[in-house]
Amino acid sequence: MPSTDQTARETALLALSACERQGAWSDGFLKKTLREAGLDSRDAALATRLCFGVLQNRLLLDFYIGKFSTTRPEKMEIKVRNALRLGVYQMAFMTKIPHNAAVNESVELTKKHCKNPRAAGMVNGVLRNVSRNIDRLPVIESGSREEYLSIRYSHPLWLVREFTALLGSEEAEALLEADNGQPPITAQINTCRATMEQTLERLAEAGVEAQPHPWLADCLVLSGTGNLEHLTAFREGLFYIQDPAARLAVEVADPKPGMKVLDACAAPGGKTFASAIRMGGEGEIQSCDIHAHKEKLIQAGAERLGFNCIKTAVMDGKKHRPAFENAFDVVIADVPCSGLGIIRKKPDIRYKDPEPLEGLPAVQSAILDNVATYVKPGGVLLYATCTLLERENGDVVRGFLDRNKDFTLEKFQLPEPLGRADNGMFTFWPQRHGTDGFFIAKLRRNT
């Protein structure tokens, strides 16, 4: 267990190394490491910036390291490699940090955490050489435009090729750049408890900067929040955090007061909460997830926001429940997916092995086929993912329609400047809309 006197850089090193070695997700593991380290808010922010910055630029950092080291980065001990990445990242991307501090801290971390007694000398030599050449770092030389983009924006080549095929080279680069940006923190107001004006007033009292979202009602863009869970307005359930695209999925599904709604793959509960707010807390929402510990997260959120209309259960979306047949006015299926639309928030998702992802459409189709039986005649089935791959999005929906003739796609209107989805499907893009990458399809069951 990390000691409580470790530094921000040490926390980042331990988190990066554990995620690389164990396959843990950076956001969850970093939060756990920060709690155990007991860092103050300033050091916690630095550790987060370092961890996410290295992940966002890992291939580029390894390219630079490889040019200044006789040992290839992939041949190094994990903690040595990450100590070097941290040092190069600070010098290349964080202009306010003195180079000697970046070098010395990485050397000390290597001495403390790495097995090879000669590793610290190597780290010192490589980083001092990088420091001397920081204004003339090596140019990326590659055999193709896609290979250049892969290194420049630290996305695996297979993913660059996927995005280029979807968008063309120019817009694919804009997406890769957006993936390496910092997403805004967007708060959805619990209008069952407070108005926008009341929420803004309470946030201002806590020193939080908040501005109305430019095109989504009852949504705020926050900055200077610190730990959100410490805010009185959060604890009192005046708002919850959710990306505008996910919130709009519920707007499109259009649950109304008194309806019965199923959120079939609900964790962490954002669409459940958005449904409850849209329904004014009147009706019944069955919020389900396959993981028991995530059910508890939904329960805690519902209690904080003050909704008694939400019932939770552990459920595998692929396994049929006869009691649910024809029972719901609205069924929301935000299915497990590759997550390639939320790289801004989980930068390590880009490094997933692509081979296991090939089986996801079959899982998504099985869930969709099953939960479709839970929709009442005339009801709505909302399919959603947080990925940008067509084989998990439109292809799954079209396959479903081929197998289920009693469902049809239904067009829907979105806020300006997004327009209307005349074909019943819409993809949100980070580089176009400033949201997560997100896909929704609205299906209506025939009466």
pLDDT tens digit sequence for 267-319: 999 999 999 999 999 999 999 999 999 999 999 999 999 999 999 999 999 99
Supply the pLDDT for residue 24.
Answer: 63
| The token pair that represents 218 in the structure block | 């009852």
Closest of 40, 61, 63 to residue 51, by C-alpha: 61
Q: How far apart are CA 219 and CA 206, in angstroms?
A: 18
Supply the pLDDT for residue 2.
Answer: 38
Report the share of the chain in percent with pLDDT over 90: 88
Q: Which residues of 153-170 are buried (b: 16+ CB within 10 A; e: fewer)?
A: bbbeeebbbbbbeebeee
Closest of 405, 401, 442 to residue 425, by C-alpha: 442
Supply the pLDDT for residue 447.
Answer: 85
Closest of 287, 443, 312, 289 to residue 376, by C-alpha: 443
- The count of C-alpha atoms lying within 13 angstroms of the C-alpha of 234, restricted to the half-sphere facing its C-beta, is 15
Q: Any binding-site annotation on 276?
A: no
Closest of 294, 264, 262, 292 to residue 275, by C-alpha: 262
| pLDDT for residue 38 is more than 90 | no
- The CATH architecture assigned to 8-133 reads Orthogonal Bundle (1.10)
Q: How far apart are CA 411 and CA 380, in angstroms?
A: 12
Report the share of the chain in percent with pLDDT over 70: 98
Residue 386 bears catalytic tag? yes
Helical H runs in 279-379? Answer: 292-305, 354-357, 360-372
Q: Coil, helix or strand for 215? A: coil
Neighbours of 241 (CB within 10 A): 14
Confidence of residue 25 (pLDDT cuts 50, 70, 90): low
Query: Which of 42-56, 243-257, 275-289 has the least mean pLDDT?
Result: 42-56
Judge whether 368 and 333 are in contact, CB under 8 Å: yes
CATH number of 185-241: 3.30.70.1170
Judge whether 269 and 301 are in contact, CB under 8 Å: yes
| The token pair that represents 232 in the structure block | 């009185």
| pLDDT for residue 22 is more than 80 | no
Residue keyed to tokens 């990306």 = 243
Q: Any binding-site annotation on 271?
A: yes
Q: Count of H helices and E strands in the chain?
A: 19, 14
In the predicted model, what is the mean pLDDT of residues 186-214?
97
Q: Any binding-site annotation on 406?
A: no
Beta-sheet pairing, 310-314 with 284-289 = parallel
Q: Any binding-site annotation on 369?
A: no
Backbone angles phi, psi at 120, to 5 degrees: -60, -40
Neighbours of 323 (CB within 10 A): 7
Closest of 267, 321, 316 to residue 295, by C-alpha: 267
Supply the pLDDT for residue 94.
Answer: 95
Confidence of residue 27 (pLDDT cuts 50, 70, 90): confident
Q: Any binding-site annotation on 424?
A: no
Q: Where in the chain is the domain with CATH 3.40.50.150?
A: 244-445
Catalytic residue among 19, 51, 219, 386: 386
Confidence of residue 142 (pLDDT cuts 50, 70, 90): confident
Q: Coil, helix or strand for 185? A: strand
In the predicted model, what is the mean pLDDT of residues 430-434?
97
In the predicted model, what is the mean pLDDT of residues 125-131?
98
Residues 73-98 have pLDDT tens digits of 999 999 999 999 999 999 999 989 99
Contact partners, residue 203, CB within 8 Å, separation at least 6: 210, 220, 222, 231, 233
Supply the pLDDT for residue 35.
Answer: 82
Q: Coil, helix or strand for 2? A: coil
Q: Any binding-site annotation on 280?
A: no
Q: Where in the chain is the domain with CATH 3.30.70.1170?
A: 185-241
Q: How far apart are CA 39 and CA 14, in angstroms?
A: 14
In the predicted model, what is the mean pLDDT of residues 421-444?
98
Tell me what the pLDDT averaged over the chain comes to.
Answer: 95
Q: Any binding-site annotation on 237?
A: no
Closest of 128, 137, 156, 177 to residue 59, by C-alpha: 156
Q: Any binding-site annotation on 269?
A: yes
In the predicted model, what is the mean pLDDT of residues 135-154?
94
Supply the pLDDT for residue 1.
Answer: 36
Supply the pLDDT for residue 433.
Answer: 97
Q: Any binding-site annotation on 265?
A: yes
- The CATH architecture assigned to 244-445 reads 3-Layer(aba) Sandwich (3.40)
Task: Say what angle helices 270-278 and 292-305 make with each other, to 10 degrees.
Answer: 30
Contact partners, residue 110, CB within 8 Å, separation at least 6: 79, 80, 83, 119, 120, 123
